[in-house]
Amino acid sequence: MFSYKEIKKTALISLWFVFLTFPIMVIKVDPIERIVRWRWDNAIYVGVGIFFTRFLIEYLKDRNNKRQAAKRSANKESQPIIHSIIANPKQRNIVIVVLLSTAFIFPFIFSTYQTNIMITALMYVVLGLGLNIVVGMAGLLDLGFVAFYAVGAYSYALLNYHFGLGFWAVLPIGGCLAGLAGLILGFPVLRLRGDYLAIVTLGFGEIIRLVLENWNDFSMGPSGISNIDRPGFFGIELSLNGSIMYLYYIMIVLMIITIFIVNRLQDSRLGRAWIALREDEIACQAMGIDKRKTKLVAFSLGAFWAGIVGVIFAAKTTFINPASFTFLESAIILSIVVLGGMGSIIGVIMGAFILILLPEYLRAFSEYRMLVFGGILVAMMVFRPQGLISNIRRTYTFNKDQ
């Protein structure tokens, strides 16, 4: 690996980086003194740094490949610890019980602030699971997912503002309206594939946000809607802390329901059709699967969950405006799915916790937060493109000798 060719290539890459970072690393304009300072030493740091970083990356990649090759030749499947836990019912039950009880006592141990962060993380888990149906299973690259989140949030905000409808009444309505929006949007755009679909959904996401921003009569524009009711608890007024705790438990229950449903969907005739559609559209149609209908169902089911979480978001913050529904939001949810592992439920859950909790706790280094965030994603793409948890191969048990 330290061949002449490799060293030359690495040197060229370093030079290229020095060139790319030249304007920000080397040149510094001092507007007060009206001079330009040339920090040549920075160029040297970048060059040397990149030189060694590349060797490090190559070394890690090499080691990774070798390990995998060794595994393959030993004829063993690489089975991450999580897969083996899932395969063993006893271990699995223990893990589930531990997780559930931790989740249950969490708000009693930690502060309201922590609980609030946890609610956000749980919301992203459900959003991720919803998008996972669309992107992970059905393979439809949707960059406008946040639009359906917005539909849910505004459904609750507006119905609450105009008609005084409560949280529990709007929760299913918001979900269904978002699902309907998914159906309506999906109808024209699902003819497109891959990159084209991504661009069009991105556009639709932005259109919805711009409409909300500019249609003052309908959505009150950029100033948003405030004083949205928190979830009602059998008519009892809850204190602020109490209602945060209440919302936390609502989120836990919603997450469990979502996991249950998504898991069942994945393991059904419909789920198989989605995965097949992701693998090969033409073969899928030739096997009698209605491409249009199957895609629409995936799109609209994913949107349904975004809508549900949207309603919860509005109830949590009691104030919404279009600024909460930018493309960045879609990008984060998509990163959760990609980081976790496309189509893998446990992966998406882990991805959501990592991507939402990590930046929260990295607030101390808030200036570098996005940098770390980006670094993690790039590292993932290089070292583990299948995501944290690759999908489990399903086997079926049945009577084989008949």
Partner 1 sequence: MTTPILKVTGLTMDFGGIRALNRLDLDVCAGEIVALIGPNGAGKTTFFNCVTGIYQPTGGDMILTPPGGHKSINLKGLKPNTVTEKGLARTFQNIRLFSKMTVLENVMIGRHCRTHAFIFGAIFRTKATRKEEKEIIEMSYSLLKEVGLAHLADEFAENLAYGAQRRLEIARALATEPLLLLLDEPAAGMNPQETLQLKELIKKIASAGQAILLIEHDMKLVMSLSDRIFVMDYGKKIAEGVPAEIRANPEVIKAYLGEDIDA
Binding site for partner 1 (CB under 8 A): 261, 264-265, 267-273, 275-276, 279-280, 282-291, 297, 301, 393-396, 398-400, 402
Which one, 120 or 285, has the nearer CB to partner 1? 285
Shortest separation between residue 35's beta carbon and partner 1, angstroms = 60
Shortest separation between residue 155's beta carbon and partner 1, angstroms = 21
Shortest separation between residue 389's beta carbon and partner 1, angstroms = 15
Which one, 128 or 271, has the nearer CB to partner 1? 271
- The span from the CA of 377 to the CA of 362, in Å, is 16
Shortest separation between residue 348's beta carbon and partner 1, angstroms = 17
Q: Which of 202, 160, 186 lies closest to 303 in space, CA to CA?
A: 186
End-to-end CA separation in angstroms for the chain = 56
What are the CA-CA distances from residue 57 to residues 11, 46, 54, 64, 117 (Å)?
14, 16, 5, 10, 34
Which one, 66 or 293, has the nearer CB to partner 1? 293
Q: Which of 326, 342, 332 lies closest to 127 in space, CA to CA?
A: 332
According to DSSP, the residues that pair with 233 across neighbouring strands are 236
CB 163 within 8 A of CB 324: no
Sequential DSSP letters for 74-127: TT-----HHHHHHH-HHHHHHHHHHHHHHHHHHHHHS-HHHHHHHHHHHHHHHH
According to DSSP, the residues that pair with 29 across neighbouring strands are 36
According to DSSP, the residues that pair with 35 across neighbouring strands are 30
Which one, 123 or 301, has the nearer CB to partner 1? 301
Shortest separation between residue 282's beta carbon and partner 1, angstroms = 6
- The span from the CA of 114 to the CA of 349, in Å, is 18
> Token pair for residue 125?
């888990």
CB 92 within 8 A of CB 86: yes
Which one, 18 or 276, has the nearer CB to partner 1? 276
Shortest separation between residue 262's beta carbon and partner 1, angstroms = 10
- The span from the CA of 80 to the CA of 88, in Å, is 13
Shortest separation between residue 306's beta carbon and partner 1, angstroms = 17
